[in-house]
């Protein structure tokens, strides 16, 4: 396998050298195929997750961990991420990368495992431009549930619980306009498919609820480590959350995870290539995204990281408990998905959110 | 060459660096503030209608947040001055060895990262924290005191704690430079200790106090982490909004206008403070003497 790759690399180098006619171009192309830089979250890209790919192809995956999605977008937009070969936009945020022309159009015929994706991801329009061309491949997903102390609540909480004076002083919301205003919108009765495009009147209703909620909150949480600490120290007993505090505190505290019927906030990470990625690198990058949707990565990330890929490839090989851990035991959950998408007037949302916080 | 002039030239490289590092980004912010975002093409385009500045002037939320930053800065500066001044004078009157020790102790909190200190405060002030446990243990309270954490009280307490060394150090240095013979002369001429303090010590330490006030005001007004992680639901800051506008909202023009507005207000406050302090005789006397 290693020798085969070397020949291909050599051919690629010769082709590149022929086209450019310079020695410098030759060395650059060689380096390109022997290593790819993947900008991703540390939780998605543990070195052991990509070892199998490196063995199969002989191409080293150099991991470049992201600090935030905004930083990733800014780095691409300003051209300061020239060494990134593969990037990690969120499904919800892909549209702005596509609009800004930062992504390479993808040829799905080069990703055979894409056919194994769950329908909700396979059919999503969020990774396409208006002409229906695909620019990103959803590969990893999860849910943002409500985490609560099972010893403090008689029944499973829902979004209304987060606004209930009965639990005053024990609740927390994320300091994040998009999700918090959307949750208030749901409580105000806005349907989940309209909640991220609320009109001024609906936003006003959501704001009223959030202002009324404020005295009942212990605090707004900033990072997931922050919220885990709030649960661990007994400051908070119920919060809109990510699943991390549940994994961290299970066994130490009586904690539960609720998936509200009104709509479950989902997150999904995508694979994409920068628009100017050279063709020889793109060929290997196609193999890599195929690997992300294949059995090796899916198994590793499910068993080590407790995350599900968008591919059904290993679902039937997991135990019921392993399926439940990554939310794929009951596929009906996908019917309640909500994908938080920052609307065009997100600055107005931010103003409302800051008005709530300053009230 | 005039020796004062030649000494001043030593500062030129650093001054140039500061100008480039400060003026250029500010100029960029000013230019950005006259742009708008075309959300369809997802690019910034020039817009000289001044819409972002109009929003600054007409939307109360921006003024409110900037006002909060000024309040954090000024209240913290006054509190640390009241607490730090006696500490600085006390240190100045210690023996040489004790002074060295005091200096190390004073700066110890700064050796730990801010985030470590924030979580330490949570352990100390939380509902199940040390303070509440102690008060419960000695029977003073039945229920934990919730106001200790996630309230404006916490924000100010921690801001004062974090910035106290920046107040104490310059006052201490100023106090070291006061000629003790002047205080003795005042006492010999019949001034009571309190009069000697107000007529000699305080005026001559005004420059240190001024430096402390400026430093603490700037640090506290610009702090985002302490209010947001310890101030609870009251911990909003203009910095957090600027961060969000530059980030997810991709509204760099509005963020630029807000950042510049904040800067102008803070600069105005600092200038007013400087003007007031320079009207004091002691500060003028010390500053005019300079490094001869």
CATH number at residue B207: 1.10.3720.10
Q: Tell me if B278 is assigned to some domain.
A: yes
- The answer to whether the beta carbons of residues B221 and B68 sit under 8 Å apart is no
Q: Tell me if B42 is assigned to some domain.
A: no
pLDDT for res A329: 87
Cα→Cα distances A130→A270, A346, B146, Å: 18, 21, 52
Closest chain B residue to A75, measured at CA? B247
pLDDT for res A234: 93
pLDDT for res B108: 87
Q: Which residues of A touch B39 (CB under 8 A)?
A: 344
Cβ of A219 within 8 Å of Cβ of B250? The answer is no
The proportion of chain A whose per-residue pLDDT surpasses 70, expressed as a percent, equals: 91
Enumerate the β-bridge partners of residue A274: A103
Q: Which residues of A touch B254 (CB under 8 A)?
A: 347
Residue of B136, B233, B255 to mutate, interface with A, max A Cβ within 10 Å: B233
Residue B1 has pLDDT above 80, yes or no: no
Residue B6 has pLDDT above 80, yes or no: no
Query: Who's near A17: CB < 8 A, 6+ residues apart?
Result: A23, A25, A26, A29
Convert the pLDDT of each residue in A177-209 to its tens digit.
999 999 999 999 999 989 999 999 999 999 999
Cβ of B42 within 8 Å of Cβ of A351? The answer is no
Convert the pLDDT of each residue in A241-265 to its tens digit.
998 899 899 999 999 999 998 998 9
Provide the pLDDT confidence category of residue B5 given band limits of 50, 70 and 90. Answer: low
pLDDT for res B218: 95
**Count of domains for chain B:** 1
Q: Tell me if B225 is assigned to some domain.
A: yes
| Mean pLDDT value of segment A60-67 | 93
Per DSSP, the three-state class of B97 is helix
On average, the pLDDT of chain B sits at 91
pLDDT for res A14: 39
The proportion of chain B whose per-residue pLDDT surpasses 70, expressed as a percent, equals: 96
| Mean pLDDT value of segment B267-271 | 93
Query: Who's near A340: CB < 8 A, 6+ residues apart?
Result: A92, A178, A179, A182, A196, A265, A267
Residue A281 has pLDDT above 80, yes or no: yes
pLDDT for res A33: 66
Residue A44 has pLDDT above 80, yes or no: yes
Convert the pLDDT of each residue in B168-216 to its tens digit.
999 999 999 999 999 999 999 999 999 999 999 999 999 899 999 999 9
pLDDT for res B4: 62
| Mean pLDDT value of segment A29-53 | 85
Four-residue CA torsion sign, B203, B206, B209, B210: positive
The overall longest dimension of chain B from CA atoms, in Å, is: 79
Out of A56-70, A221-235, A280-294, B36-50, which region has the weakest mean confidence (pLDDT)? B36-50
Convert the pLDDT of each residue in A153-179 to its tens digit.
999 999 999 999 999 999 999 998 999
Q: Tell me if B222 is assigned to some domain.
A: yes
Cβ of B122 within 8 Å of Cβ of A177? The answer is no
- The answer to whether the beta carbons of residues A167 and A216 sit under 8 Å apart is yes
- The ipTM of this complex is 0.81
On average, the pLDDT of chain A sits at 88
Cβ of A347 within 8 Å of Cβ of B251? The answer is yes
Cα→Cα distances A113→A5, A135, A310, B161, Å: 21, 16, 10, 57
Q: Tell me if B188 is assigned to some domain.
A: yes
Out of A12-26, A136-150, A270-284, B37-51, which region has the weakest mean confidence (pLDDT)? A12-26
Domains in chain A, please, with CATH?
A: 2-139+270-328 (3.40.190.10), 146-258+338-358 (3.40.190.10)
CA pair distance A59, A35, nearest whole angstrom? 5
Closest chain A residue to B62, measured at CA? A351
The proportion of chain A whose per-residue pLDDT surpasses 90, expressed as a percent, equals: 66
A175 touches chain B (CB under 8 A): yes
Convert the pLDDT of each residue in A305-333 to its tens digit.
889 999 999 999 999 989 988 888 888 87
A142 φ, ψ (degrees, to nearest 5): -170, -175
CA pair distance A51, A297, nearest whole angstrom? 9
Domain with B212, as residue range(s), is 69-110+155-289
Q: Tell me if B122 is assigned to some domain.
A: no
Per DSSP, the three-state class of A150 is coil
Closest chain A residue to B247, measured at CA? A70
Interface of B with A in 31-50 (CB under 8 A): 39-43
- The answer to whether the beta carbons of residues B262 and B69 sit under 8 Å apart is yes
* Radius of gyration (C-alpha) of chain A in whole angstroms: 22
Q: Tell me if B266 is assigned to some domain.
A: yes
Q: Which residues of A touch B43 (CB under 8 A)?
A: 100
Which of the pair, B3 or A198, is modelled with greater confidence? A198
Closest chain B residue to A130, measured at CA? B40
A346 touches chain B (CB under 8 A): yes
Shortest Cα distance from B189 to chain A (angstroms)? Answer: 55
Which of the pair, A56 or B39, is modelled with greater confidence? A56
- The answer to whether the beta carbons of residues B170 and B208 sit under 8 Å apart is yes
Cβ of B61 within 8 Å of Cβ of A354? The answer is yes
Provide the pLDDT confidence category of residue A31 given band limits of 50, 70 and 90. Answer: very low
Q: Tell me if B78 is assigned to some domain.
A: yes
CA pair distance B114, A95, nearest whole angstrom? 36
């Amino acid at each position: 396998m290693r020798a085969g790759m070397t020949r291909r690399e050599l051919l690629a180098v010769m082709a590149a050298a022929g086209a450019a006619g310079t020695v410098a171009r030759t060395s650059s192309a060689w380096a390109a195929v022997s290593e790819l830089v993947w900008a991703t979250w540390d939780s998605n890209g543990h070195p052991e997750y990509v070892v199998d790919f490196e063995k199969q192809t002989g191409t080293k995956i150099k991991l470049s961990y992201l600090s935030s999605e905004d930083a990733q977008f800014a780095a691409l937009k300003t051209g300061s991420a020239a060494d990134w070969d593969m990037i990690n936009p969120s499904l919800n945020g892909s549209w702005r990368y596509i609009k800004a022309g930062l992504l390479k159009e993808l040829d799905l015929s080069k990703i055979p495992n894409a056919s194994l994706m769950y329908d909700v991801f396979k059919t999503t329009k969020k990774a396409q431009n208006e002409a229906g061309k695909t620019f990103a491949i959803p590969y990893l997903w999860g849910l943002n549930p409500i985490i609560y102390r099972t010893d403090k609540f008689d029944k499973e909480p829902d979004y209304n619980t987060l606004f209930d004076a009965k639990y005053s002083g024990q609740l927390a919301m994320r300091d994040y306009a998009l999700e918090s205003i959307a949750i208030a919108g749901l409580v105000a009765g806005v349907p989940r498919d309209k909640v991220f495009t609320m009109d001024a009147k609906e936003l006003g209703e959501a704001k009223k609820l959030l202002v009324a909620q404020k005295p009942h909150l212990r605090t707004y949480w900033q990072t997931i480590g922050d919220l885990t600490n709030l649960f661990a120290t007994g400051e908070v007993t119920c919060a809109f959350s990510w699943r991390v505090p549940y994994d961290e505190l299970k066994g130490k505290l009586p904690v539960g995870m609720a998936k509200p019927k009104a709509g479950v906030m989902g997150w999904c990470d995508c694979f994409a290539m920068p628009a100017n990625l050279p063709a020889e690198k793109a060929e290997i990058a196609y193999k890599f995204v195929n690997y992300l949707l294949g059995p090796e990565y899916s198994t590793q990330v499910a068993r080590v990281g407790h995350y599900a890929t968008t591919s059904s490839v290993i679902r039937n090989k997991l135990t019921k408990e392993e399926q439940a851990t990554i939310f794929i035991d009951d596929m009906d959950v996908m019917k309640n998905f909500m994908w938080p998408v920052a609307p065009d007037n997100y600055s107005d949302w931010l103003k409302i959110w800051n008005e709530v916080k300053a009230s | 060459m005039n020796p004062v002039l030649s000494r001043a030239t030593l500062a030129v490289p650093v001054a140039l660096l500061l100008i480039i590092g400060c003026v250029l980004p500010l100029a960029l912010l000013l230019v950005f503030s006259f742009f708008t975002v075309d959300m369809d093409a997802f690019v910034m385009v020039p817009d000289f209608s001044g819409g972002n500045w109009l929003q600054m002037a007409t939307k109360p939320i921006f003024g409110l947040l900037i006002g909060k930053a000024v309040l954090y800065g000024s209240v913290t500066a006054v509190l640390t001055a009241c607490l730090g001044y006696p500490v600085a004078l006390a240190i100045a009157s210690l023996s040489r060895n004790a002074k060295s020790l005091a200096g190390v102790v004073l700066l110890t909190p700064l050796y730990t990262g801010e985030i470590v200190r924030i979580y330490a405060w949570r352990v100390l002030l939380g509902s199940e924290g040390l303070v509440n446990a102690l008060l419960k243990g000695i029977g003073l309270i039945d229920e934990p005191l919730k106001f200790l954490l996630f309230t404006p009280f916490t924000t100010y307490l921690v801001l004062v704690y974090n910035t106290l060394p920046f107040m104490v150090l310059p006052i201490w240095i100023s106090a070291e430079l006061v000629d003790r013979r002047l205080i003795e002369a005042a006492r010999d001429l019949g001034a009571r200790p309190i009069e000697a303090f107000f007529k000699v010590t305080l005026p001559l330490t005004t420059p240190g106090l001024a430096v402390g006030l400026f430093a603490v005001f700037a640090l506290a007004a610009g702090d985002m982490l302490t209010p947001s992680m310890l101030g609870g639901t009251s911990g909003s800051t203009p910095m957090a909004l600027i961060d969000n506008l530059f980030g997810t909202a991709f509204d760099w023009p509005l963020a630029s206008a807000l950042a510049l507005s904040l800067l102008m207000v803070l600069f105005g406050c600092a200038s007013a403070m400087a003007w007031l302090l320079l009207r004091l005789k002691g500060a003028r006397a010390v500053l005019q003497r300079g490094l001869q």
